[in-house]
C-alpha cells in the first residue's frame, strides 16, 4: 500500500542572520518556491504545505501552488525545535481528517533539489523496515582527521583517535559523513520518539550523492554563493522557467 507522504516547508518569518531570507529572490523567484516546486513535481508526494507564522509568506507559498498551514505563535521563535513544529503539524492535519503517514521536511534554505532527488529519498524511506525517520548525511567539507582540540594556551590534541606518527593521504581517511538538513522524512506515528535533530530509535541515514550541491543559506554570503552557482550554471535551479519549461508567475499579494 502506497504511503501518504506530505511535504512540509517550514518557513519562519524571523531570521537572525539574513532578514526575511526565506522570501529573498533567487533566480527570479522567492527562496521558498525552490522547495515548493520540486515537491509539487514529485509524483511520490501527496500534498505540499508551506508552514509559517507569516501570512505574507503563506500568500507567496499559495501563489506557487502550496497548501498552507499557519504555525502557532508558540512555535514561531528561534528556539522552537523542528520536532515540535512537525508534531503540531501532524496533529493539525489529522484533526482536519487528512491522512498523513510521513512528513518530508524541506527547509527552504536548501534551494537546490530536484523532484527525482526527492523521489530517491522517499524510496529509501519506503524500503526501510520499522523506520522512524530518515535524515540526510553528506561527505564532510573537512574530514575529522584534519580537526583538533586546542587548549587555552594553544596545546594541540587530536579530535579523533588515529596514529599521529603516520602520514595519511586523503584517500586513506576512513569514510565519515556529516549531518545535513537537506531533506528529512519523519514517520508520523513516531514523531514523539525523535529528538530535536529528528533522530531516534529506528532512524536511518540517507547518503546525499556527492554530485548534489548541498547549499544551506544562512547569511548574505551564503546567498551570494547560491546566486553565483546559478549564474555560472553549476546548478540547475527553478526560476523563470522550471525544468519542465513552463513559465512561472510570481505573486506576492
Q: Does the pLDDT of residue 232 top 50, yes or no?
A: yes
Query: Average of pLDDT values for 115-133?
Result: 96
Of the candidates 126, 115, 92, 103, the one whose C-alpha atom is nearest the C-alpha of residue 5 is 103
pLDDT of residue 245 exceeding 70, the answer is no
Q: How many CA atoms lie within 13 A of 71 on its CB side?
A: 28
pLDDT digits (tens, 9 = 90+) for 7-51: 999 998 877 678 789 999 999 999 999 999 999 999 999 999 999
Give the other-Cβ count within 10 Å of 147's Cβ: 11
**Poorest-confidence range of 13-22, 101-110, 119-128, 187-196?**
13-22
Does residue 203 or residue 253 have the better pLDDT? 203
CATH architecture of 5-138+177-231: Alpha-Beta Complex (3.90)
pTM for the model stands at 0.89
pLDDT 10s digits, 67-85? 999 999 888 877 889 999 9
Cross-strand pairs, 203: 133
The ranges assigned to domains in the chain are 5-138+177-231, 140-175
Res 156 pLDDT > 90: no
| Residues 221, 151 contacting (CB under 8 angstroms) | no
pLDDT score, position 240 = 60
Q: How confident is the model at residue 1 (pLDDT cuts 50, 70, 90)?
A: low
Amino acid at each position: 500500500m502506497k504511503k501518504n507522504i506530505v511535504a512540509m516547508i517550514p518557513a519562519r518569518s524571523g531570521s537572525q542572520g539574513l532578514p526575511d531570507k526565506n522570501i529573498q529572490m533567487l533566480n527570479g523567484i522567492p527562496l521558498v518556491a525552490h522547495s515548493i516546486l520540486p515537491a509539487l513535481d514529485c509524483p511520490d508526494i501527496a500534498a505540499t504545505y508551506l508552514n509559517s507564522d507569516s501570512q505574507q509568506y503563506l500568500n507567496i507559498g499559495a501563489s506557487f501552488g502550496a497548501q498552507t498551514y499557519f504555525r502557532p505563535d508558540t512555535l514561531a521563535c528561534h528556539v522552537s525545535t523542528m520536532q515540535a513544529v512537525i508534531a503540531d503539524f501532524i496533529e493539525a492535519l489529522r484533526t482536519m481528517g487528512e491522512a498523513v503517514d510521513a512528513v518530508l521536511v524541506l527547509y527552504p534554505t536548501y534551494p537546490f533539489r530536484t523532484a527525482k532527488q526527492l523521489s530517491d529519498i522517499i524510496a529509501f524511506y519506503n524500503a526501510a523496515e520499522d523506520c522512524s525517520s530518515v535524515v540526510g548525511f553528506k561527505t564532510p567539507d573537512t574530514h575529522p582527521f584534519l580537526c583538533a582540540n586546542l587548549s587555552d594556551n594553544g596545546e594541540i590534541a587530536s579530535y579523533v583517535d588515529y596514529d599521529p606518527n603516520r602520514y595519511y593521504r586523503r584517500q586513506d581517511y576512513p569514510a565519515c559523513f556529516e549531518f545535513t538538513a537537506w531533506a528529512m522524512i519523519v514517520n508520523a506515528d513516531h514523531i514523539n520518539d525523535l529528538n530535536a535533530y529528528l533522530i531516534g530509535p529506528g532512524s536511518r541515514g540517507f547518503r546525499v550523492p556527492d554530485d548534489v550541491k548541498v547549499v544551506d543559506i544562512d547569511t548574505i554570503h551564503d546567498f551570494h554563493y547560491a546566486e553565483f552557482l546559478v549564474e555560472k550554471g553549476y546548478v540547475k535551479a527553478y526560476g523563470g522557467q522550471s525544468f519542465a519549461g513552463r513559465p512561472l508567475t510570481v505573486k506576492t499579494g
